[in-house]
Each structure stands twice: as structure tokens, then as C-alpha cells.
Amino acid sequence: MDKLTSGKVIPAYKKTIPNNRTFYKQHISGSYKTTKTTNHVGNFDEGQYHKVLNKMIKKPRKKLRKLVLKEGQYSYIVKGVTVRELGMYKKGLSEETLSAEVAGRDGNAGGVIPEHLHRVFESLPNRKGEYEGTEIATSPGGTEYTMDCSPRPYEGYTEQAIAEEDNGDLNFFLEKPNWMDSASYGPNPMDYEEFPELSRK
């Protein structure tokens, strides 16, 4: 499945752009500076996203923070992501293929705009759901995710879009008028009186 690479994120909510940009830098490019002890970096832009239609937690885990969705957000299961663990004490030398639960939004082009990585799964077996077009994935802790069978591609920031934005910011800075570029900037007229040998050019 090809990912959607429109180059720009067209959000329905104001914070979608900065949230997805942070997600890209933290979990896809790995360029985001973090003090977390564990930070998963992988090809989330190539994964297959399945919208979670229902989530049943059978064995609540005290140490696992509950995913609280914001207005307009949905939960998605992304499969087949090859990740490396980076962080304060980890160098990301080893890779493994995982599934993950992320919070995000539906993109205008039919894909998914991820905004937050909630948890990862080493194993997430699936079975056919009770309703047509659904499947159920069960986490090691027993949580059942009823999902849409139809996978969706990543839709959000890409390496090219990040580079274009960074280049645009640099050009804006370089092209911004400088007070030294002003026509009024130059030798003080009084200098010519004190130093007649100075000639105007």
C-alpha cells in the first residue's frame, strides 16, 4: 500500500499540524531531541493503519496510562512497523517489527494523520470480528481492539515537506530587510567636514 504524500497536512483542528510534525520528528525521522528513556523510531509512514471501532480493556494495568482521545481524535492500530529504540541510554542499534496503538485523525485524502504514539505490541494476534468488515486484535494483556479491516496509509508530514518548511524559514530570515541595508545607513555627513580627504562615491 502506498502512503499518501501530499506534502502538506490540511487539518480540521489547529493543533494537528504541530502535533503531526512532532510525531514525524520524534517517531519517524528521529531528529526530535527527547529526554525519554525509551523512544521508538521507525517507518510509521509506511505502516498500515486500522481505525479502532471499539476497545475493551479486560485487565487494567496500573502502570499503563490510559489513552485519552482529544476532540476529533481516533485510536488506530498500525501494523508491521520496523522500529529502533532510542533514548537517553539507548542507541537504537537493534531493530524489531512491532504493532502500535496511536492517536490521530482521519486525513482529507483518506489516510491517517498520527499525532501521538501510545503503546507498542510485540505480538498482536488477530481474528475475524463479529461484524462484516471487522477484525479483533488482542494484546498480551487481554485488551481487545475491534478494528476496521480496511487498512489506511499514512497521511501527514514527509521528509520533503519538512525540508521545504525549514528551507522556507531560512529564506524568510535571509530575505528579511536588515537595518544595515537601509539607504540611510552610511557615513555620518559630519565626517566629511572633519575629514575632507574622504570622498563620496
Per DSSP, what are the bridge partners of residue 48?
79
* Residues shown for the chain: 201
Residue 178 inside a domain? The answer is: no
pLDDT tens, residue by residue, 48-57: 999 999 999 8
Q: Could you tell me if residue 76 is inside a domain?
A: yes
Whether 6 is covered by a domain: the verdict is no
* pLDDT for residue 50: 97
Distance CA 159, CA 91 (A): 22
Residue 147 to residue 77: CA distance in whole angstroms? 8
In a domain, 192, yes or no: no
Place of cell 480496511: 150
In a domain? residue 83: yes
Q: Which domain holds residue 87?
A: 16-170
192: helix, strand or coil: helix
Quick check: is 186 in a domain?
Answer: no
Residue 159 lies in a domain: yes
**Residue 191 is placed in which grid cell?**
565626517
DSSP type of residue 132: T
Is residue 28 one of the residues assigned to a domain? yes
pTM of the model: 0.74
The chain-wide mean pLDDT, for the chain, equals: 78
**Interval 147-156: pLDDT, tens:** 999 999 999 9
CA dist 109 and 141 (Å) reads 34
List all residues 6 or more positions away from 152 whose beta carbon is below 8 Å from its beta carbon. Answer: 48, 49, 50, 51, 76, 110, 111, 112
Counted domains in the chain:
1
